[in-house]
Every structure is written in C-alpha cells, then in structure tokens.
Structure 1
C-alpha cells in the first residue's frame, strides 16, 4: 500500500487528495517572497553578521561550497519571537561526491523581542490564587463541531495551512512581516486563515534534553570571515520558489517497465490490478517505488516542507534510511524524532542537546533544474554533477540561538543525504 493511502482521504469523487505537505516549485519570475530561492548567492538576516567562515567550506576538501537552497523559515506559531532562515550548501567537486560533509545545512536565528522573566515561586502562587476558575471545556464543540461562544484555534496549527488545508503543525516559509513591534502576547494563537497565496505566506515541541556533551553556543574568540564571492565557484542559476499543497490522484493500474517480466503460472482471469502491483513490487525496490510514485504525482517539485512531519525516504538500506526508518513502526505518518535516543532517530542538537525534528527535504528534480546547461564551470568536465537522491534537513526543535534581542546566531543543522543508488 502506498503511503498516501493512509495519510489522507480522497475527495467526494474519489479522484484526488490533498496532504499537509507543502511543495516548492522553481520559478524564473520574481515573486513577493524574494528571500526563498534555489541556487544563486545567499543573503543574511543581518549583512553585518554573516556565518563564521568555517561553515562555507566542504568538510572533505575544505573548499567553498555552492548554495542549493535558502529558505525564509519564520514559524510564528512555534517561535513567535524568532526570525529564522535556513540554508543548504553543497560541494560541486566530483571527488567529494558521496562523502560525509560535502553537503551542509545552516540555520540563522535572531530574537525580535525579549521574553519576560519567569515569576518567582511566591509571586506565582499568589497569582494562581487570584486567577478565576478556568471555564469548563465545551464538549459539544470538541466532539460535534459546534461553535462555542469564545471560539478556539488549535495550538498546533500549521502556518502553511489555509482554511481548507488539513490541520498540521506550523510551517515556516513565512514572508517576513514589516519590522515587528513588541506586542503583548495574546492568549489565543493566531489563525492562519488570512495567509496570502505567496510561497512565503503559505510557508509560515519539547522533552528535557539528555545529559550529553554539547558544543558551546558561540565559538570563543573571532572566527575566520565568510569568503568573498571571488573565492567561490560559479553559483547555480537562481530560481525563486512558488508553492502549493501536495495533491495526488488515485493511482492507476501499474505498467510493467521494459525489461521486467512477471512469471504468472496461474491463468486467473479474475486477477486485478492489486495482484499485478504486488507481483511487480516483489521484483523492484518497494521503498524507492513508493518514493518515485509519490513524487510522480507532482513531478516538478523540488522541495517538500512539513515542519515536524515525516520525511519521504529514498531507501531504507543506506545509512540515513537505517537511521530514520523504524521497522517496528507500521504507521506511515509516525514522526521522526529522537525519543528514547534510539538508533532509528535523528541525532540531537549538538548545541543544546534538544531533539531534532524534520523540517524539509530536497528531491531529485532540484538537480535537473540547477544543472541544466551547466558543465564543468572550471572544475573539470562535468565535475559538478550532483549524485544525491534525497537531502533531509533536521533542525533543533527549540530553535536554540542567542537570547539577546537583535543578535544573529548561527547553528549547523543535520543534513541527512541519501545518495543515488550505484549502478
């Protein structure tokens, strides 16, 4: 059974379904969100605070890398006081392909307002005494959808969602609003119904950290500066990002690829598409077939975004697949976290020890878009050919960074790369 058979419900006519995954598409046209883009040169939250220079280099050859993706990652429902931006870089040199550290991910975070200090225990007790009794829950509204007098919005609302989209957890590609002014926190989360149709507007958790050794938040002493543009290879062509929620049609009877034969010894005239599909999948990689079938519904997608969602795996047998796939989990919608610190989970944040969660993944069509008409660019014939099949970004679910207002902090996040299968 394909994953979407369980993830979503088809519409009344049974032909299409929409999921909570936001898909990114490349666009040559300038759109309102000019921050999020594929390829090109990176831009920073604060031009005076670029990342430390060590983040610019491939960990294999120690040479500057090229930008694959920059994403405006504000998450107002999860981190209302933070500005966020996400980056994925890749080394274009063929000798570094398939090696750990040739693809790296960064997260920039900046506080836009300070958090009030927690009340003292004595003050908290006095405040609790003065609090009026909490109203009883409106069971009618929660069970039968009746409208209560006060109304409510799920605290786990998906910032990517529109009024007709399925409820999911918040999603960040939010277009930055004009410089936010300090406001008194509202007791109710903000509704996402008024979001506009731009990619940024559509793209708008935590157990105690374990005892672990973590990196210091900021390196002691000055770091090497970010290299000048002249030190980088020629960048990939820049594309802006458009977006829409994933929509899939009901799968049809599969066709048999050329060169594949199925030995059907039983002459069963009642055998239908289900039997044909099972026989076909028994000879091919089922995980990869699910991956390619899912992408095939929207073949122009280059990006899949679902904050705290589930990555679509390219394989279960490579190191990343083994790390993230839990064979005991049969629910395709199960979230990938570090609960219990098991071997099938993302590594924790090296800076604060918190869990990491899935935020986005780049899929193979991004390679076709970035490499069209590009050969060598001074690195040798076709040395810049990319060979990955999936790049999964896992981020700190606490969005750790500097606590001072206006100070930009940089964190290297986890980039799980699933390389193309060797022929």
Structure 2
C-alpha cells in the first residue's frame, strides 16, 4: 500500500498522486468559473438557489461564499452540467456550530442531441466512432496537461500508461468552453447503487421557494481568487520516527501495556497521528487551498471528532484506513450513497482572510477556525427530471474544526 493512501507513480525523487490540488490565483488562469471568495455565479441567472440556502442554520442570516467550483464530470455524467458551492457564516457566535458551513450542488441535465446540435458550428471534422465518447467538460479550465483525459480535474488520475485519445467537440454554449479544467484531469468510476430505504425529502424545484436575497443583504465578500490546478507531487516518503527517549511496552491480550496505558496515550496525544499525517502531507505543497479526488479518500485533520469517527476506522492489527465515502450519509433527495469529491485546505483561510474588511460585521466578525471542510456528494448526481431545468441539492459538508488545545 502506498504510504500516501493514493494511486501514485514514482520518479526517483518524488511521487505524483491522484489528488488534484487547487492554488489561488489573482488573475484568470484558464478557469473563469472556479474561484475562492467573491460573489457566486449560477448555471442560469434565472434560477438561483432557494432563498433559505443563503442562510446560516445557526443565526439564519446570509452567509458568504468560500468556494465555487466547476464540477462537470463528462466521463461519469456526460450530459450533466454541475457546479459546487461552499458557503460559511463569518459571525463569531456561529463559529464551530453545525450549520454555519453549508454546501450545495447545482445541476442541469441536457441531451446528447442538444450537445451535438450546439457543437455543429465549431466542429471542423467529425470522426466516426462506433460509440461517441463523453464530451469535454464545459469549463475545462483548472489543470494543465493533456485534454485527452477528459473528466473533472479534481478526481482520480489517468494511469501513466493510458494512451491519449482525440478529445470530442465542445459541449453546449451555455457554459464557456475552455482549454482544460479540474474535470479534465480525472477518470471516474461507475456510480454506486441507490439506497431505496433511505429517507428522502422533497426536491427543491417541486416546491415554492423564497427568493435568493439581494446582494446588499450579504456581508462583504472575501476577495475573489481564481484557481489553478496541478497534480499533487511529494518528495520521497518518510515515516515519523519514535523519539529515542520513548519506549513502547508490549501489549497484553486486552491491548494494554504490561505496566500502564498512560505512556501510549501520552505518546499518541503528543504526536497526534491524524494531525501529523495531515500536516506532513500538506507540507509537500503548502500553498494548496483545495484537494480534489472524486470517489477518492479525504485527508483527515482529526480522527476523534464526529467527522473523523465517521470516516476513519482502525483495524485490530493496527492498520489505519480512511474511508472514501462508505460511511457518508446518503443523499437526502434520492437515497443514493454519497461519495467524497473534494476538501478545502487550511491555507484557503490565509488567502481569504488576508486584508478582509469587516464591513457590516464589526465585533461579530470572526476568523475561520476550521482545519478542513470535506464535501460528500450524491453518487448518482440526482437532479431535476426535466431536461434543461436547473436544480439545487444541499450536500454533506463535514467540517473538522481547528484544535485549540
């Protein structure tokens, strides 16, 4: 097993994993959709999210945007247009409380016919194939590299031996067609089975909704930063060494040392395995603000909080495993399993809060105190049944708060 718990290719002095990293950029790189901070943009200006999606669940006041991510996955959902959003409440009384960070997925399903029809004006040649391949991501923007690996730039990497294939023509003009995106850097597996026994709630588009608040009702936004992307690379793996002055005593049948468990507890608390792994992994690429690996494995900040306990298991033999989504709550709307898609890294806080004016918040403005925000999404990418209709789904945002001990 690779020590970084991810598919990788080794090249003497460094390792490249299947995780796509996002970096903040003040200028547009290739992706004009994905960004940190700023104001959100919608798939359709006429179909903003339901008004209650704007509000913190703690204080019921409008939140501000942390991330908008172009999320098309043509290898997985070739006729779906997707965007992901994470909002957070900046008010101090709401900090560290459930519901102060919320995540959404915007989805519009189109048809192959409409894609092909819209592509006609820009296609010079059409290669006859027995079966057409998935169209490229409409927002192909983030990462650099071969556009042939069409998918989301933030997902599982293509194998090093994969032979590039000609990219198909651009998709519908409703989204800007650019060179490459996070989606382009990934290859995806098949969606998981639906869980028919899971409780589901009404689809937002089937109910009357309160309007999205006017921009003047929101706190001042964070500065807008665009996103660039590169695959994660790390120097040769190294394993943390136990300090010379620490000894580990043999364990008895109940897992206790022959003397006392205090030494083991003290050692583990001092070296906090989760945080050590988290910080060492991020240390290879300290400027990263986002980690993307669709159906991959999140990097946990903590094993002991609610999120850590849900996603982390330790076998009796001492082997540690972090699940990629098997323990995520199912989709609230269709009951399908959820899968891991991406997470925000702590450096995003430094980027967003640097020079931020506390307009309209005064004493109530608070700095962000999370270690990471993990996004789990519906594996079926459920959305409106009506072709062309934009729908909204609230997804699972697992927040691991900074340890203030």
Structure 2 CA distance for partners of 1:373 and 1:213, relative to 1, 3 Å? same
Q: Which residue of 314, 336, 339 corresponds with 2:324?
A: 336
Q: Which residue of 223, 227, 233 corresponds with 1:241?
A: 227
2:165 aligns to what? none
Query: Which of structure 1's runs of 4+ aligned residues deviate more than 4 A?
Result: 156-159, 161-167, 195-200, 251-256, 279-282, 329-335
Q: 2:67 aligned with 1:85, yes or no?
A: no
Structure 2 CA distance for partners of 1:372 and 1:262, relative to 1, 3 Å? farther
* Distance in 2, Cα, partners of 1:104 & 1:306: 20
Q: Over the residues paired in the alignment, what is the CA RMSD in angstroms?
A: 3.2
* Distance in 1, Cα, partners of 2:240 & 2:198: 49
Unaligned runs of 5+ in 2: 114-148, 163-168, 248-265
* Distance in 1, Cα, partners of 2:360 & 2:74: 43
* Distance in 2, Cα, partners of 1:39 & 1:88: 10
Q: Which residue of 210, 234, 246 corresponds with 2:196?
A: 210
2:369 aligns to what? 387
Q: Deviations over 1:91-135 (max 9, x none)?
A: 0001000000000000000011179xxxxxxxxxxxxxxxxxxxx
Q: 2:289 aligned with 1:302, yes or no?
A: yes
* Distance in 2, Cα, partners of 1:20 & 1:303: 14
* Distance in 2, Cα, partners of 1:331 & 1:83: 39
- Look at both structures and tell me which one has the larger radius of gyration over its CA atoms: 1
Structure 2 CA distance for partners of 1:397 and 1:9, relative to 1, 3 Å? closer
* Distance in 1, Cα, partners of 2:11 & 2:383: 46
Unaligned runs of 5+ in 1: 116-155, 168-175, 182-194, 266-278, 339-344
2:172 aligns to what? 179
Query: Contact (CA 8 Å) 1:83, 1:109: kept in 2 or not?
Result: yes
Query: Contact (CA 8 Å) 1:262, 1:280: kept in 2 or not?
Result: no
* Distance in 2, Cα, partners of 1:253 & 1:337: 26
Tell me the TM-score normalized by structure 1: 0.72
Tell me the TM-score normalized by structure 2: 0.75
2:261 aligns to what? none
Structure 2 CA distance for partners of 1:31 and 1:53, relative to 1, 3 Å? same
* Distance in 2, Cα, partners of 1:419 & 1:2: 28
Q: Which residue of 49, 52, 58 corresponds with 1:51?
A: 49
Q: Which residue of 91, 94, 97 corresponds with 2:95?
A: 97
1:11 aligns to what? 10
How many pairs were matched up?
338
Structure 2 CA distance for partners of 1:10 and 1:74, relative to 1, 3 Å? closer
1:287 aligns to what? 274
Displacement of 1:212 in angstroms is 2.7
* Distance in 2, Cα, partners of 1:215 & 1:367: 33
